[in-house]
Amino acid sequence: MMIGSLCSRGKLDLALKLLGEMLAASCLSTVKIYTILLKAIVNERGTNEGTKLLNEMRERGIEPDTMPYNIVLKALLDQRKYVEAKKLVSEMLSRGCEPDLFTHSIFIPTFCREGKAEEALSMLKLVIENGPKANQYSYDPLITAFCKDGKLDLALGVLEIMTSNRCLPDIDNYNIVLCALSRKGQVEQALKIFHKLDDVGCHLDVHSYNNIICGLWKMGDRSRAIKMVEEMGSAGIDPNDITYSSILCSLCRGRMDEDAIELLGHMVEKGCHPNETTYTLLIEGIGFGGWRSEAMELASSLVEMGAISSDSHQRLSKVFPISIASRQFAASAM
């Protein structure tokens, strides 16, 4: 196609001139021709010229399909022209042009990244009412954005919209919500969702349990947190380093250092080897529990074994008072 060749070679003016000659000679133009021109004109001259060409199509009786709209929509969003972008989507719907999944993937993540998740949700609802059903990738950015902003009612609302539109949330969607609820202290609400997941065919994983366990520890409900760890084992899910680290920290700060050390041994037995973060949490827990000298003795032993770095040892030595001998050891280890 001559117009396509001209556009690919950067000769947009000649391509537009050829289009004018075709129209003057009553040659039939097509959506495909305009789509090629739209890509070139938006890239070279911006969205205003692209919108003009889109309007010209309609004036000549050529109704755009989804692709021409998507080209202009993406350009508007790239230039942060959100009002114009919303108008364009509304125009698509009013003219009977159903937005496709690519349309969703353009405007929803962009609006969410720019802190406009509520506007994205409004647009999604409008699209769902008039167009094709959204898929998982349409909802994911909304759930993440609302949880990040602490708007948990809206995040839960998105889960309901998904279910009502036969797009079942996956465990990742639920885990994001469980994490946000637990961090905000709404552990009981998180537990209600947690206990319903198996019933809706969404299988719990280690992250699901960790979110609840961390929330329970934060609330000071140690007995239920430990019970949840036991429940993990019964469900055939092995705790990971995050599970153990959160419990170790709470045990140590609760001055239950013997239980913490026992748990550390259990962790190793299960094949989940402690990392530097785990050891540091244990040391901090012992130190904050009132056993500062014991904490630094353990830190000195661990840095000698290569289990923690000399940088970590130095940082801990600033937190907890240590003896002169320990200071000399820390200096020699660096």
Which stretches of the chain are DSSP H helices? 2-8, 12-24, 31-45, 47-59, 66-78, 82-94, 101-113, 117-130, 136-148, 152-164, 171-183, 187-196, 206-218, 222-234, 241-253, 257-269, 276-288, 292-305, 310-319, 324-333
Assess if residue 37 is contained within a domain: yes
Are 117 and 88 found together in one domain?
Answer: no
Residue 329 has pLDDT above 50, yes or no: no
Residue 192 has pLDDT above 60, yes or no: yes
The mean pLDDT of 158-181, rounded to a whole number, is 93
Report the percentage of the chain scoring pLDDT > 70: 84
Please give the pLDDT value at position 197.
93
Assess if residue 178 is contained within a domain: yes
Are 119 and 180 found together in one domain?
Answer: yes
How many domains is the chain built from?
2
- pTM score, two decimals? 0.74
Cα–Cα dist 119/125, whole Å: 10
SS3 203: coil
Are 41 and 70 found together in one domain?
Answer: yes
Are 73 and 115 found together in one domain?
Answer: no
Are 88 and 121 found together in one domain?
Answer: no
Assess if residue 324 is contained within a domain: no
pLDDT tens profile 13-47? 777 787 776 776 667 678 888 888 889 989 888 89
Are 54 and 118 found together in one domain?
Answer: no
The mean pLDDT of 287-293, rounded to a whole number, is 80
Assess if residue 21 is contained within a domain: yes
Please give the pLDDT value at position 7.
66
Are 71 and 139 found together in one domain?
Answer: no
Are 2 and 45 found together in one domain?
Answer: yes
Assess if residue 25 is contained within a domain: yes
Are 125 and 88 found together in one domain?
Answer: no
Assess if residue 259 is contained within a domain: no
SS3 199: helix
Which of 64-73, 83-92, 125-134, 304-313 is the least confident region? 125-134
The mean pLDDT of 233-247, rounded to a whole number, is 80
pLDDT interval class at 253 (50, 70, 90): low
Assess if residue 163 is contained within a domain: yes
Are 32 and 116 found together in one domain?
Answer: no
The mean pLDDT of 314-324, rounded to a whole number, is 74
Are 55 and 132 found together in one domain?
Answer: no
Which of 120-134, 140-154, 238-252 is the least confident region? 238-252
Are 119 and 159 found together in one domain?
Answer: yes
Burial tier of 47 (Cβ tally within 10 Å: 0-12, 13-18, 19+): buried
Higher pLDDT, 18 or 323: 18
Q: CA angle, 210 as apex, 243 and 155 as ends, to 5°?
A: 155
Assess if residue 232 is contained within a domain: no
What is the residue-wise DSSP string for 148-187? Answer: HTT-HHHHHHHHHHHHHTT----HHHHHHHHHHHHHTT-H
Residue 330 has pLDDT above 80, yes or no: no
Cα–Cα dist 38/49, whole Å: 9
The CATH number assigned to the domain holding 181 equals: 1.25.40.10
pLDDT tens profile 140-164? 999 999 999 999 999 999 999 999 8
Residue ranges making up the domain that contains 13: 1-59+66-77+84-92
| Domain boundary pick from 191, 219, 239 | 191
| Domain boundary pick from 150, 172, 191 | 191
The mean pLDDT of 317-332, rounded to a whole number, is 57
| Domain boundary pick from 191, 213, 243 | 191
